Amino acid sequence: MTQLSIDDLRRVLVDCAGEREGLAVGGDIAELTFEELGYDSLALIETAAKLKQRFDIDIEDDKVVTAETLGALLGLANAAVAQEAGR
């Protein structure tokens, strides 16, 4: 598995929890908080489940809910990809 892009992650989040106004705007969305974007912890857990299903990326729920931004969640996802590749 190759590294996810911010756009890959954005698409998964939108599939799981719907598109919010902040995600529709172009530009750098990586540092906007999930609160600013209108997503809650349930949306993040659903996103993590979809990442597992679609890309076989396994992120523990307790780590997922600590991610405050899309960029932080992307970092967790790509760290899981790197860890799996190292096995």
Domain ranges of the chain: 6-85
How far apart are the C-alpha atoms of 53 and 48, rounded to whole Å? 9
* DSSP letter string, 66-83: T--BHHHHHHHHHHHHHH
Percent composition of the chain: helix, strand, coil (DSSP 3-state, to 5): 65, 0, 35
CA angle 86-6-19, nearest 5°? 135
To which residue do tokens 């998964």 refer?
Answer: 12
Question: What are the pLDDT tens digits along the chain (87 aa)?
Answer: 689 999 899 899 999 988 876 665 556 788 989 998 889 999 999 999 999 999 999 999 999 999 999 999 999 999 999 988 877
pTM of the model: 0.87
CATH number for the region 6-85 comes to: 1.10.1200.10
